[in-house]
Amino acid sequence: MAIDPKILETEVLKLSLEARARLAEKLILSLDAPSEEENLHLWVVEAERRLKELREGKAKEISAEDALRSARTALS
């Protein structure tokens, strides 16, 4: 059963400063890096978006050679 975020927030704010700091650290760390499964899901979603754009003509394919040349030019 999910907890209402507003109720959770109210309860968390009743914790001691030290307890809130530990919780804040854990929450921040949980945002820093997705799990391997989440990362895979994000890449699949991105790949599907890119394929859709190619099929709809909103994007065009370029060779790896051209992509690298363009990147080198942009960095220099």
- The predicted-structure confidence for 27-74, as pLDDT tens digits, reads as follows 988 887 788 898 999 999 999 999 999 999 999 999 999 999 999 999
Q: How many domains does the chain have?
A: 2
Does 76 lie in the same domain as 43?
yes
pLDDT of residue 6: 95
pLDDT tens for residues 3-36? 999 999 999 999 999 999 999 999 988 887 788 8
Q: How far is the C-alpha of 62 from the C-alpha of 51, rounded, in Å?
A: 13
Does 38 lie in the same domain as 27?
no
Does 12 lie in the same domain as 47?
no
Q: How far is the C-alpha of 53 from the C-alpha of 46, rounded, in Å?
A: 11
Q: How far is the C-alpha of 54 from the C-alpha of 59, rounded, in Å?
A: 5
Q: On the CB side of 16, how many CA atoms lie within 13 Å of its CA?
A: 3
Does 63 lie in the same domain as 51?
yes
- Identify the domain containing residue 9 by its residue range: 1-32
Does 76 lie in the same domain as 39?
yes
pLDDT of residue 9: 95
Does 40 lie in the same domain as 16?
no
